[in-house]
Amino acid sequence: MEAREVLEQVKAGSISIEEAEKYFRKQPFEELGYAKLDTHREIRSGFPEVVFCSGKPDEYLAAIYQKLFEKNGEVFGTRADGHQFELVKAVLPQVSYDRTSRILKIEKPDKIRYGKIAVCTAGTADIPVAEEAAQTAEYFGSYVERIYDVGVSGLHRLLSRMDTIQEANCVVAVAGMEGALASVIGGLVSRPVIAVPTSVGYGASMHGLSALLTMINSCANGIAVVNIDNGYGAGYVAAQINRLGCRQEGE
């Protein structure tokens, strides 16, 4: 149960002040021995804790998913594999898995999405990282417009979608190879651009390092860069920016 829900129930008279006090006196994490689940993260930051699935022992992962679902009514994990999907599905049959983004989640069906984030890729090979960004932002309540395969080798493809991109509160630009997409978009929009270098490319791309260096040396303004293949990080920051944009529009 969320803090706001507790306060609303107190206001409505459905629970007592004493019962509400018990909720707020709980320690701000759930001790599992092998993990300390940050159950108060959403209260502090506005977004709940997310699970990084890769490398977690099977029995730990299943228990973590069960506990977070019990606390929040939904749960979101990144970098999962097919085996982990089957493992979690055995205890939480409603869990879904997207093999492209490697996201393993249970999401509330009545979630309202607001604002707009544009997630763009230079090529089709960048889509797995872009989908990690897009689905992260969607999980955190943002509406996402996907604009894929609009790299600089065919600039007309990008220009044909500029009206949509310019309407967004934030743009995520995902690119491997030389990573030029972020610079081009940065010069065409008035909103923040989050650049995501990917490990897509030939030998001299050095597993995304070439794109990373291009992006952090961009001459365009308003560009921030996350780590190589870090779609989750880009989606999270984009959701924060989108939330701020929606608040300003509502003033």
More confident residue, 188 or 246: 188
Mean pLDDT of the chain: 89
More confident residue, 108 or 246: 108
Q: What is the mean pLDDT of residues 99-110?
A: 94
Task: Supply the pTM of this predicted model.
Answer: 0.85
**pLDDT beyond 60 at 68:** yes
Confidence of residue 1 (pLDDT cuts 50, 70, 90): low
**pLDDT beyond 70 at 36:** no
Q: For residues 244 and 251, give the distance between their C-alpha atoms in angstroms, rounded to a whole number.
A: 11
The pLDDT of residue 239 = 96
The pLDDT of residue 6 = 79
- pLDDT digit string, tens, across residues 109-153: 888 899 999 999 999 999 999 999 999 999 999 999 999 999 998
DSSP secondary structure string, the chain? --HHHHHHHHHHTSS-HHHHHHHHHS-SSEE-SS-EE-TTHHHHHSS---EE-TT--HHHHHHHHHHHHHHHS-EEEES--HHHHHHHHHH-TT-EEETTTTEEEE--TT---EEEEEEEESSGGGHHHHHHHHHHHHHTTEEEEEE-S--GGGHHHHHTTHHHHHHSSEEEEEE-TT-THHHHHHTT-SS-EEEEE-S-S-GGGGGGHHHHHHHHT-SSSSEEE--TT-HHHHHHHHHHHHHHHHHHHH-
- Which domains are seen in the chain, by residue range? 26-106 (no CATH), 114-250 (3.40.50.1970)
The pLDDT of residue 129 = 98
The pLDDT of residue 41 = 65
The pLDDT of residue 45 = 65
The pLDDT of residue 251 = 46
The pLDDT of residue 26 = 63
The pLDDT of residue 246 = 82
Most confident residue range from 4-8, 61-65, 120-124: 120-124
Confidence of residue 84 (pLDDT cuts 50, 70, 90): very high
**pLDDT beyond 90 at 17:** no
